[in-house]
Amino acid sequence: MEAAGTPNSATDFLNEFKTLVGDRPFDSMAELQTALDGFGEEQNKTPVLDFLGLTPEQMFRLRRHPLAEMPDVVDVQTGIEDQRFIHAPIVVTAIAVLGAIAEEGRLKTTATGNLPQRTVRELHQQLGGLMFCERKVPGSETHMPDLFFTRNLLMLCGLVEEEGKYFYLTTLGVEFLDSCVTQGAASRLYRHLFLNCVDRFNWLFDTGYEDECGDMQHAALFCFYILHKKARSNIDRMKLAAHFTRAFPSVADTMSHRIPQITHDLATSVIEQAFDDLFIGRICYYFGFLTPKPASGWARVRDVRTSELFDAVFHWK
């Protein structure tokens, strides 16, 4: 039931319809239904301020179609070779992990199914400050959450497999590694990782955030659209997060109703923090969509703007 003082979208729709028709009489229920249908169709085609100019119809499709299937909103261009792809943190880390496994032929997993400690420490030295590490010297893969994320994404993408307590490269993994190392051609790897990350990988994996925070992945294209509309020049990361919660207030409603001790305002704060941590601090950083690059830890960078690589990947209509 709708709470007093917090109208939902259905109430807003009916109030606007009543304002439009005023005291106009309807001769039948059929005539009233026709008027409602016409009003609803017009509303669905009208840009919404909180959607940053998108229409409800576009937003509906945006949340239900893969990233590459919204040509009236954006074209995702990663097919043309661009040297900027090979410098994206996700590609640099992926090549390092694939190379470490290829060098050994296969790598024995730890008892918990992670990369061995020796390999983790070698990758830590190789990658330098590119990937966050919780300790000065990592004791395990879990101390490097960015590395842990990348290795799991590589497995989801079918580039690395585990069998008999060993990691090994698949045929596709060998192919991608060879094209990157010998030809410097990273566009196919970048696209493969990006589309799988957006459409298939669970952004909440190993994060501890509430399930409702995963709604941002269902609206991933809108998250990138926020950057397009609001991050062309420097902007505070949390202001970007606020645009997401304004567009989808029902996400905070759901969380606060499911967990009574969490108020709507607190739920909104949790969702905005998740947006900052997972979308801005993880997805956007990994794929090189924001600048400036962090000199001493991404978490310390508050003002960001879209990068040249973002413009190369997303061609907005």
**Selected residue with higher pLDDT from 89 and 135:** 89
Residue 268 lies in a domain: yes
Report the range out of 133-142, 150-159, 188-197 with the highest average pLDDT: 150-159
DSSP assigned state of 210: -
My answer on whether 216 and 269 are in the same domain is: yes
Same domain (yes/no): 229, 304: yes
Do both 312 and 215 map to the same domain?
yes
Residues 178 and 225 in one domain: no
Domain for residue 202, yes or no?
no
Straight-line distance from the first to the last Cα atom of the chain, in angstroms, rounded to the nearest whole number: 39
Which residue among 185, 219, 247 closes a domain? 185
- Per-residue pLDDT tens over the stretch 82-107: 678 888 999 999 999 999 999 999 99
Domain range for 144: 89-185
d(CA 194, CA 215): 18
> Is the torsion defined by CA of 260, 263, 268, 270 positive or negative?
negative
d(CA 276, CA 269): 11
- Number of helical H runs and strand E runs in the chain: 15, 8
For the stretch 116-134, pLDDT in tens is: 999 999 999 998 777 777 7
Q: Are residues 141 and 176 in the same domain?
A: yes
Residue 204, in any domain of the structure = no
Res 4: pLDDT: 34
The answer to whether position 252 is within a domain reads yes
The number of beta carbons lying within 10 Å of the beta carbon of residue 193 is 27
Contact 203, 286 (CB under 8 A): no
The pLDDT, as a whole number, for residue 225 is 94
In the chain, the number of structural domains is 2
Q: What is the pLDDT of residue 128?
A: 76
181 within some domain? yes
Question: What percentage of the chain reaches a pLDDT higher than 70?
Answer: 81
Do 179 and 215 lie in a common domain? Answer: no
Q: Residue 36: its pLDDT value, please?
A: 66
Whether the per-residue pLDDT at 21 is higher than 90: the answer is: no
- Side by side, the strands of the sheet bearing 290-291 are 235-236, 303-306, 290-291
pLDDT of residue 1: 32
pLDDT, residue 238, reads 93
Choose one of 132, 150, 185: the last residue of a domain.
185
247 with 290, same domain: the answer is yes
For the stretch 177-207, pLDDT in tens is 999 988 878 888 999 999 999 989 999 998 9
Does residue 310 belong to any structural domain of this protein? yes
Per-residue pLDDT at 27: 59
CATH code of residue 156: 1.10.10.10
Res 2: pLDDT = 34
Q: 217 lies in a domain?
A: yes
pLDDT for position 183:
83
Average pLDDT, rounded, for the chain: 85
- 216 & 307 share domain: yes
Query: What's this model's pTM, rounded to 2 decimal places?
Result: 0.83
- 81 pLDDT higher than 70: no
Cα separation, 55 vs 40, in Å, equals 12
Domain assignment of residue 150, yes or no? yes
Query: At 212, is the pLDDT very low, low, confident or very high (cuts 50, 70, 90)?
Result: very high
Is the confidence at residue 153, as pLDDT, over 70? yes
Query: How far is the CA of 163 from the CAs of 87, 113, 157, 238, in angstroms?
Result: 31, 10, 16, 42
Quote the pLDDT of residue 24.
67
Higher per-residue pLDDT: 276 or 48: 276
What's the rounded Cα separation, in Å, for the pair 35 and 17? 9
Task: Read off the pLDDT of residues 22-77 as tens digits, 9 standing for 90 and up.
Answer: 566 665 667 666 666 665 666 666 778 899 988 888 888 888 777 777 888 888 87
168 and 215 part of one domain: no
